[in-house]
Amino acid sequence: MKKWFLNWGWIAVYAVVLAISVLIIAGAGHEPIEEKQAEKVTITFRHFWIKEHDRQMLNIVEDVVAQFQETHPNVKVNFEGMDQTVHREQKLKSEMVTGTPPDMFVLFGGAEIEPYVRSNRLMDLTDFLEGNGLKEQFQDLHLWTFDNHIYGLPIEGNAEPLFYNKEIFDDLGLEPPETLEDLNKVIDVLIAHGITPFALGNEERWPAAIFAHYLMDRYAGPGLINELVQGDESLSFQNPSYWKAFKQLKSWIDENAFYPPANDLSTEEAIERFTNGEAAMYLNGSWDINLFHNERAPAGFQNQVGVIPFPSLTEGGNRSIAGGYTIGIGLSSNLEESKWEAAQELLKSLYTEEVQRRIVYEASRIPSMKITYDSEKTGPVFAQVVEMMEQSNQSFVPYDNVLPPEVNKTFLKVLEEMIRKRVKPEEALEQIQHTSEQYWQLRRSSLLSETDGGAGW
């Protein structure tokens, strides 16, 4: 009995040793796979949703990023916010020159990204879209498409209507203006009653451009700007139509039609003037709708807001709406394979029907993808914006998205100077034209350099 027990004891010990040896060998044999599965990937993702009116968008994307990291434990997303102007005009431009942009970033489609595309700094997403069946799910990709290739994806759509306080208008017996003449009469009545016509917060410089591009569109029509931004040397910003547009803007500035000091007010501060009844109208984007019913706005204020297109030059004339699918996400073209694979997965998490519905219901933003949603749940202002867009068969891309970046910089600067009453309309247009000529001279030299084998940034 003792001998039998000892034999089985040695057999048990031998089995344990053998099992451990097998595990060690197996572990050694599969080490490359385990290391690959555990490989850590870090993606940098920069956004500019740092203002109060972007809080809901930030919350939505933060949720998506957090859920993505839970389901992809080997991926870390460094999600950082930056002031929009600093990101667009300073940081990203310099990073694109040096080839060191973040892995993912929020940006504007159209003219702003064209230099990045030409310099091969943006990832081509065409195959990604087609491979995942996403291409036909977007409302409009033309601002992100160059030479039939797609270099970014819009995350939301927008429109730039004229919001007005229906209660103030009713109290003063005013009708929503349909023409610029009507609007000028409304402005006169409002000023006579001590009410500022427009709440304008031009701290970021682009809000004043909304007034300018609407007036330029109304006086000149939609065709002129499209030819100017293509570098047509036979045309000039110094033309009679644009002079009339800038002269009209100057008359509003001289009449104090904008809440002072417009250049120093933020978007949030301007909207407070509107929601508190200190200003009767607000011209800006549909992205601001959520501030009409936040904790700072009077209860029920959103029910007092009317939404109309910017007035036409004459009765029955052009009332096209500025807007489009301009805000989106792009990727750096120099992503290594592991980052590119992770970024694709994150993109698929961001561009879903569920996320788009949250953008509609929670952020009051127009969806960039073809989805269905319940209009009863969107609130009265959003519903009016959508109805206005559906009734309009004309739209144009905001000028700050079609002007070449350097020309747009001058465009915004001269508008700031006009509001400060330092520049006259003819001087403002002269400066824009001068910058445009310089830009196209450099652009043609750059194209020639590329033809001759140069880099051509």
Looking at beta carbons, which pairs linking 221-227 to residues 24 or more positions away fall under 8 Å? Answer: 221/318, 222/318, 222/320, 222/394, 222/396, 225/396, 225/399, 225/402, 226/402
Q: Per-residue confidence at 20, pLDDT binned at 50, 70, 90? A: very low
Could you give the CA distance from residue 367 to residue 378 in angstroms, rounded to a whole number?
12
Is residue 229's pLDDT more than 80?
yes
Is residue 36's pLDDT more than 60?
no
Q: What is the pLDDT of residue 22?
A: 39
Q: Per-residue confidence at 29, pLDDT binned at 50, 70, 90? A: very low
Please report where in the chains the tokens 């002129």 appear, as a residue: 224
Per-residue pLDDT tens over the stretch 377-431: 999 999 999 999 988 878 999 999 899 999 999 999 999 999 999 999 999 999 9
Q: Per-residue confidence at 37, pLDDT binned at 50, 70, 90? A: low
Is residue 435's pLDDT more than 60?
yes
Q: What is the pLDDT of residue 35?
A: 41
Is residue 26's pLDDT more than 90?
no
Q: What percentage of the chain carries pLDDT values higher than 90?
A: 83
Which tokens in the block code for residue 14? 């031998």
Which tokens in the block code for residue 164? 């007005």
Is residue 276's pLDDT more than 80?
yes
Per-residue pLDDT tens over the stretch 74-124: 999 999 999 998 999 899 999 999 999 999 999 999 998 999 999 999 999
Average pLDDT taken over every residue of the chain: 90
Q: What is the pLDDT of residue 34?
A: 41
413-440: burial string, b at 16+ Cβ within 10 Å, e else: bbbbbbbeeebebeebbbbbbebbeebb
Q: What is the pLDDT of residue 446?
A: 74
The arithmetic mean of pLDDT across residues 150-177, rounded, is 97
Q: What is the pLDDT of residue 376?
A: 85
Is residue 24's pLDDT more than 70?
no
Q: Per-residue confidence at 149, pLDDT binned at 50, 70, 90? A: very high
The arithmetic mean of pLDDT across residues 181-208, rounded, is 97
Is residue 356's pLDDT more than 80?
yes
**Residue among 190, 61, 115 at smallest CA distance from 456:** 115
> 330 has which bridge partners?
105
Q: What is the pLDDT of residue 5?
A: 35
Q: What is the pLDDT of residue 54?
A: 94
**Residue among 309, 289, 306, 288 at smallest CA distance from 389:** 309
Helix (H, G, I), strand (E, B) or coil at 321: strand
User: Pairing between strand 104-108 and 149-150?
Assistant: unpaired
